[in-house]
Each structure stands twice: as structure tokens, then as C-alpha cells.
Amino acid sequence: MDFATLFGVLIGGGLVGGAIFMQGVATKTSPTVFLDGASIMIVLGGTLAATAIAFPLKEVLRIMTVLRAVFKGSTGPTLGALVDEVIDVSNFARKGPKELESQIGNIKNFFLKDGVQMVVDGYAVEEIRSILETRVEYREERERAEAGLFKAMGRFSPAFGMIGTLIGLVYMLKGMGAGGGEDMASAVGTGMATALITTFYGALMAYLFFLPMADKLNSQISSKSTVQNLLTEGVCLLAMKKHPLIVREKINSFIPPREWKRET
């Protein structure tokens, strides 16, 4: 569970809600003005409609899957532990294909397992490298498209917030002049306040939800690529039966020095 994501949404939402409540008390105005179904509908509905136009249906339908993944976070081992796992396997690789094959069942990482299977199946090093690199490249491309969907929603929601505000403003302006003085000021004020609610929703959705989500996705995608590039290099070194010392030195170069272990 990635608590940072959940806490960020809850704390950010709480701060904004608290500010609305406190200012409502201070100005003796009911904060219910901020709960406006029609405003939420036009901003969220417009954003979803634009997203449905902008992306293939099957990607839009994957939003919930992607969201769940973001909240769950990555549960994989640390980079240092991954290096250790590759070193363990490399010890068997040096003994021979049979010994290596017997270890496949113990490998938890799906990508590493697949790579080791190819080594066992006798693929050439360059074929293995090319297959694994293509996988990383296209996995990254597919996932960047999913992150792009959240980024697009982060661009669309302030736009529909503005569109909603423009609708409200036009009606408010049209009605100006009816009833003089304070009456008019009161009507103008209320009209404009309501009109601004959609701008508020558009900004809140974009900056507390869609855009940070897109950033998180992109950050998770990069981490995953680092892991898979490290494993690709590791599998190729296995296939070349390199000494564990050299394997560790080489794949250590993918991870920060503070996570390095030396072979003992």
C-alpha cells in the first residue's frame, strides 16, 4: 500500500475542506455554496467526455485498474535485494543449464524468470538482449500512454472549469442592471460566486488529483524501467557465464552507491 498517495489525497482534501469551513465560519456564510452538483457534473463530465474523445476506449476503461495500481504502490524488493537475487542465480548459471533450470521455480520476479528461461532454452545473448529490450521499450510506451491520460485529464479539467465559469458569467452579466444598488451588487456577487465554483473544481481536480497522479505514474514507470534494464543486463551476464564479482560490479552501476553491497 502506497500510503503517501492516500495521505496526500486525504490531507490535501482535508486542508482545502478545512479552509472552506473555517472561512465560512469567519464570514458567517454557509460553506454549502461549495457543494454544487451541477458544477461537479460539468467539470467532471466535460473532462471525461473530452478524455473519451482523446483516448482509445480500452485505455479509458483501464483508468480504475491504473488508479488501483497507483494507490497500491510497488511492492517489489529493493534494488539492492534484486542485485542479490541476480547474483544468486548467476552462481547456478556458471554450473550449467541444468542447475540453472532447477532454480527457475525460486525466482519471484516475472521478468527475470522469463529471461533465465531463455538462457536455459539456449537463446543467443544478443537475441535475449534484443527481446528483453523490446519488452522494456514497449512496456514503457504503453504505460506512458496511461500516464498521458491522467495528464490530459489534468489539462481538460481546468478548461471545463473555465467553460462552466464563462456560462455562469454570461448569465450574471445579462441579468445586471435589474434592481439598483445593493440588490444588484448582491445578485452580481452571488452570480459570480456560483460561476467561480467550476473554476475552483477544475483547479482542485487537476492539481490535487490528475496531475500529481500522472507524475506518480511516470515516476513508477521510470523505476520499473530501471529495474528491468538492470535485470536485462544481469540476464545477459548470466548467459555469458560471467563471474558473480563482475556481474555485481556491472549491475551495481544501475543503483545508488549507498545500496551497493560488495561480494564477500
* Window 147-176: residues binding a copy of itself (CB under 8 A): 148, 152, 155-156, 159-160, 162-164, 166-176
Which region, judged by CB under 8 A, interacts with a copy of itself, from 84-92, 96-104, 218-226? 218-226
- In the complex, minimum distance from the CB of residue 104 to a copy of itself, in angstroms, rounded to a whole number: 15
Which region, judged by CB under 8 A, interacts with a copy of itself, from 81-89, 90-98, 100-108, 220-228? 220-228
129 binds a copy of itself (CB under 8 A): no
Q: Pick from 67, 88, 226, 241: which binds a copy of itself (CB under 8 A)?
A: 226
- In the complex, minimum distance from the CB of residue 94 to a copy of itself, in angstroms, rounded to a whole number: 18
Please count the other Cβ atoms lying within 10 Å of the Cβ belonging to residue 120: 18
The C-alpha cell at 192 is 459570480
Please count the other Cβ atoms lying within 10 Å of the Cβ belonging to residue 56: 11
| # chain residues binding a copy of itself, by CB under 8 A | 119
Q: Pick from 85, 86, 93, 216: which binds a copy of itself (CB under 8 A)?
A: 216
**Are the C-beta atoms of residues 6 and 71 closer than 8 Å to each other?**
yes
238, exposed or middle or buried, with CB in 10 Å at 0-12, 13-18, 19+?
A: buried
**Are the C-beta atoms of residues 213 and 67 closer than 8 Å to each other?**
yes
69 binds a copy of itself (CB under 8 A): no
Q: How far is CA 87 from the centre of its chain?
A: 31
112 binds a copy of itself (CB under 8 A): no
**Residue with Cβ nearer a copy of itself (69 or 184):** 184
Within 13 Å and on the Cβ side, how many CA atoms surround 141? Answer: 6
- Please report, as residue ranges, which positions from 1 to 40 form the binding site for a copy of itself (by CB under 8 A): 2-5, 7-9, 11-13, 15-16, 19-20, 22-24, 27, 29, 33-34, 38
User: 228 by DSSP, 3-state: which?
Assistant: helix
Q: Pick from 106, 222, 243, 263: which binds a copy of itself (CB under 8 A)?
A: 222
**Are the C-beta atoms of residues 5 and 70 closer than 8 Å to each other?**
yes
Could you say which DSSP state residue 241 is in? T
**Are the C-beta atoms of residues 230 and 84 closer than 8 Å to each other?**
no
Helix (H) or strand (E) holding 93: helix 79-95
- In the complex, minimum distance from the CB of residue 91 to a copy of itself, in angstroms, rounded to a whole number: 20
- In the complex, minimum distance from the CB of residue 253 to a copy of itself, in angstroms, rounded to a whole number: 4
**Residue with Cβ nearer a copy of itself (50 or 94):** 50
